[in-house]
Chains A and B, each alone.
Chain A
Amino acid sequence: MMDLLHNLQQGFATALTFQNILYCSFGVFFGQMIGVLPGIGAPTAIALLLPLTFTVDSTSAIIMFAGIYYGVAYGGTITSILINVPGESSTVMTCLDGYQMALQGRAGAALSVAAIGSWIAGTASTVLLMAFAPSLARFAIRFGPAEFFSLTVMAFGLLTVFGGENPFKVVISTMIGLLLTTVGIDVVGGMPRFTFGVPQLLGGLDFIVVVCGMFGVAEVFNSIEQPEEGGDRIKGKPRLRDMFLTWEDWVASRWAIFRGTVIGFLIGLIPAGGITTASFIAYLSEKRYAKHPERFGRGAIEGVAAPESANNAASISGFAPLLALGIPGSATTAVMLAGFMMWGIRPGPLLFSTHPKLVWGLIASMYIGNFLLLLMNIFLIPLFTAMLRVPYSIMMGGIVIFSSVGAFSVNNNLFDVWMMLGFALLAYVMLKLGYPIVPLILALVLGKLSENSLRQALMISGGTFSIFATRPISAVFLGAAALAYMAPLFRWALARRRATALAP
């Protein structure tokens, strides 16, 4: 306990420097702004800024990126409530009751409960993260190559549960991501793979180039096809005095906030769990166990409190697998992992001992960031709603500029810019055909770790695959992976059984 407090004190000493407060404030403000604007998400925002932070201190930059990540979850709420358009997928469930509340003239209460719930969940989740992540890291110190390989297999397996509707398309997307990691010189044998004589490919595909294309420019094409501008459809512009909750509102929402926090924290810990899943499960469980479930969808304040608390709790707890295991739980943390690697930092079991300043500074900054977001959500709502009036024709230009400069700045050559455009086209077509992008990105980040761990483990075992089953932790991960891969089969069997039961 004393260690924890000492580490936290050190963390606050780092986070409370003028520079880090500035980066944290910019991160949460920018994140909130990105959350408000439909058509651009947290992974895109971080990917676009990543190449521009090469020269910034790594702790400050990571504090800023974390701020963007959890700030986005706050920002997406505003559009969900005011115009029934989720700024982020994690705020889809908020539309159901939040927009109804706005139509009833209670937009202020909806925004307020979302902000307070998010703040409570974010802060509680940070406390739990602080207690849980170091223990997870200590446990993970026992991991060898076999465990790391099995862990990545489990993460890929969990994608079939959470990553998309069609598990086969999820696997295809994952495999394409893995395939992309094999491009370039093989680090073990020194042999070029899939370079086709192109010298620029010898070093492999740069993650930033792929992400700028797949999340940045591809998002532009998707947004052009499905415009979501809605500045003229704002319902119930809330005044400051409407932003304070009544005692009845608080009584109705306090347990929903608590349950949302617990659900969000637990789901955030699962690799590939994600904040969207957390908000869905929190909303559905709140509705299921409510005394009057018929109120949901008609402006129930619990229907805003639960998913909003869950998505923030999950965005914070998602840092536990990232920091302690080096396994990202979502596309955003995958992009952040790329950022860590860009600064020569490898997240994993040793991160807490090798970079304590960074880890504890980041954790302490989450308290500060969440508090700043609470204030912004109460006092700056008019500013954020005004942003909705920026036409997409102008916004998309900014995205293309940032993506192009980002891709160019990796190696200072135009080849990468063309590659970025190629990946944008690939992502655009994949999304249109129902292939999810997130598995590809996660596989791209974890692919090298997966292959190197596999080969190292087999070198240790003399080529015997039983090493993965005989080491207990590895066996547990593989067991979980097997269950995850079989989950769609269970779902299909269950649906078939239900259909048979319902048939006359």
Chain B
Amino acid sequence: MHEKSSDVLAHLPDGERRASVFWSEAGVRYARVFSGVAVLALGVAVVLLSRRLPYHSDYGPGPGFLPTWIGYVLSACAIVVTAQELRAPPTAEEFFRPRTRLAVKVLAAIGVTFLLVPFLGFSLALGLLIGVTMRMMGSHRWLACGVAAAVAAVGIHYVFGRSLDIPLPTGLVGF
């Protein structure tokens, strides 16, 4: 079952709780309205970019035909969605949930891992990611995380690199 936000909030320090409540209440409304505006911007951009492509060709519709219409439909729907979100009653849903920060941390860890691939190699970088995310997510000890990271790195190297012959990038250590 989903973790109740209020239960989690109760365990947070005062400052963090106030921030979470603010972002929960205001965040979802602004985010949804903003999503409509963002889609509208995308629709307009698609129409403008499609104008650089021929709308007609010698053989019928040109490469700009479909994207132009996609842009129009996106813009029209975005206007409706924005209007809907502006008129929508307050919702109990939240955009920034208590564990959103953790999800963002994991996202950042994955990003850093991909940046490290040219230096550490694919297997080692992803192995490291496993150890780090295990530590971030659960109450695993550093030793367990380290062992998991090493096992994952060796596993990736042998399963994907050797057995399946995928030419995974190697880093400075050649692994």
- Which residues of A are at the interface with B, using a C-beta cutoff of 8 A? 52, 55, 84-85, 166, 168-169, 171-172, 175-176, 178-179, 182, 186, 188-189, 191, 193-194, 217, 220-222, 224-228, 230, 391-394, 396-397, 400-401, 404-405, 408-409, 412, 414, 417-418, 421, 424-425, 428-429, 432-435, 451, 454-455, 458-459, 463
A428 to B31, CA, bound (A): 13
CB<8 Å pairs between A and B, sample of 22: A84-B1, A168-B77, A172-B74, A172-B78, A175-B74, A179-B70, A193-B67, A194-B49, A224-B99, A227-B3, A393-B134, A393-B137, A393-B138, A393-B140, A396-B133, A397-B130, A400-B133, A401-B152, A405-B156, A409-B166, A451-B66, A455-B61
Residues B66 and A221 in contact, CB atoms below 8 Å apart:
no
Residues B59 and A459 in contact, CB atoms below 8 Å apart:
yes
Interface of B is mostly: helix
Contact A228 B1, CB 8 Å, known A175-B73, A191-B53, A414-B169 = yes
A-B contact count (CB 8 A): 161
Q: How far is the CB of B43 from chain A (nearest CB, A)?
A: 8
Residue from B66, B95, B103, B140 within 8 A of A182 (CB atoms): B66
Q: Which of the four size classes fits the interface of chain B?
A: 35 or more
Residues A432 and B31 in contact, CB atoms below 8 Å apart:
yes
Contacting residues, chain B, for A404 (C-beta < 8 A): 114, 122, 126
Contacting residues, chain A, for B49 (C-beta < 8 A): 194
Interface of A is mostly: helix
Residues A401 and B77 in contact, CB atoms below 8 Å apart:
no
Contacting residues, chain B, for A168 (C-beta < 8 A): 77, 80-81, 84
Residues B134 and A172 in contact, CB atoms below 8 Å apart:
no
Contacting residues, chain B, for A393 (C-beta < 8 A): 133-134, 136-138, 140
Any A CB within 8 A of the CB of B107: yes
Any A CB within 8 A of the CB of B150: no
A172 to B169, CA, bound (A): 37
Contacting residues, chain B, for A169 (C-beta < 8 A): 77, 81
- Given A400-B130, A428-B107, 6 more A-B residue pairs with CB atoms under 8 Å apart are A166-B84, A171-B77, A228-B2, A400-B129, A421-B107, A425-B107
A166 to B156, CA, bound (A): 42
Residues A421 and B114 in contact, CB atoms below 8 Å apart:
yes
Any A CB within 8 A of the CB of B124: no
A166 to B111, CA, bound (A): 32
